Structure 1
Amino acid sequence: MSAPVLDVRGVVKTFGDTVVLRGVDLSVGEHQVVALIGGSGSGKSTLLRCASLLETVDDGQVLLDGEDVTDPRVDADAVRRRLGVVFQAYNLFPHMTVLDNVTLAPTVVHGRPKAEVQEEARAMLARMGLADKAGEYPDRLSGGQQQRVAIARALGVRPRVLLLDEITSALDPELVGEVLAVVREVAAQGMTILMATHEMGFARQVADTVAFLDGGVVLESGPPEQVLGDPVEERTRRFLARVIDAGRL
Structure 2
Amino acid sequence: MSTADISAASPVLRMESVRKTFGTSVVLRDVDLEVPPHTVTALIGASGSGKSTLLRCANLLEDIDDGAIWLDGEEITDPGVDPDAIRRRIGVVFQAYNLFPHMTVLENITLAPRRVHGVSRAEAEGHARELLERLGLGDKAGAYPDRLSGGQQQRVAIVRALAVRPRLLLFDEITAALDPELVGEVLAVVRDLKDEGMTMVLATHEMGFARDVADQVCFLDGGVVLERGTAQQIFGDPQQERTQRFLRRIVEAGRL
Is the structural similarity TM-score above 0.5?
yes
SS of residue matched to 2:26: strand
- Paired with 2:246 and 2:9, the residues of 1 have a C-alpha distance of 33
- Paired with 1:102 and 1:31, the residues of 2 have a C-alpha distance of 24
Residue matched to 2:163: 156
Shift of 1:213: 0.4
- Paired with 1:230 and 1:96, the residues of 2 have a C-alpha distance of 48
- Paired with 1:234 and 1:94, the residues of 2 have a C-alpha distance of 46
Shift of 1:2: 3.2
1:52 pairs with one of 59, 64, 74 = 59
Shift of 1:115: 1.1
Deviating beyond 4 angstroms after TM superposition, the runs of 4 or more aligned structure 1 residues are none
The C-alpha deviation readout for 1:22-58, integer Å capped at 9, x for no partner, is: 1111110110100000001100000000001000000
Residue matched to 2:72: 65
- Paired with 2:80 and 2:146, the residues of 1 have a C-alpha distance of 40
Counterpart residue identity of residue 206, structure 1: V
Give structure 1 stretches of 5+ with no counterpart: none
RMSD: 0.7
- Paired with 1:243 and 1:78, the residues of 2 have a C-alpha distance of 39
Residue matched to 1:114: 121
Residue matched to 2:102: 95
1:133 equivalenced with 2:140 (yes/no): yes
1:18 pairs with one of 4, 21, 25 = 25
Shift of 1:187: 1.1
Shift of 1:247: 1.3
SS of residue matched to 1:221: strand
2:209 pairs with one of 202, 210, 213 = 202
- Paired with 1:142 and 1:23, the residues of 2 have a C-alpha distance of 40
Residue matched to 1:7: 14
The C-alpha deviation readout for 1:130-175, integer Å capped at 9, x for no partner, is: 1111100111111110000000000000101000000001111000
The C-alpha deviation readout for 1:1-34, integer Å capped at 9, x for no partner, is: 2320000111100001100101111110110100
1:220 pairs with one of 220, 227, 233 = 227
- Paired with 2:109 and 2:194, the residues of 1 have a C-alpha distance of 19
Counterpart residue identity of residue 176, structure 2: S
1:184 pairs with one of 186, 191, 204 = 191
- Paired with 1:14 and 1:245, the residues of 2 have a C-alpha distance of 33
2:236 pairs with one of 209, 213, 229 = 229
Matches within 5 A, 1:229-248: 229-248=236-255
Counterpart residue identity of residue 86, structure 1: V
2:176 pairs with one of 169, 175, 179 = 169
Counterpart residue identity of residue 14, structure 2: D
Shift of 1:117: 1.7
Identity of aligned residues (%): 70
SS of residue matched to 2:111: helix
- Paired with 1:220 and 1:193, the residues of 2 have a C-alpha distance of 19
Counterpart residue identity of residue 128, structure 1: L
Total equivalences in the alignment: 249
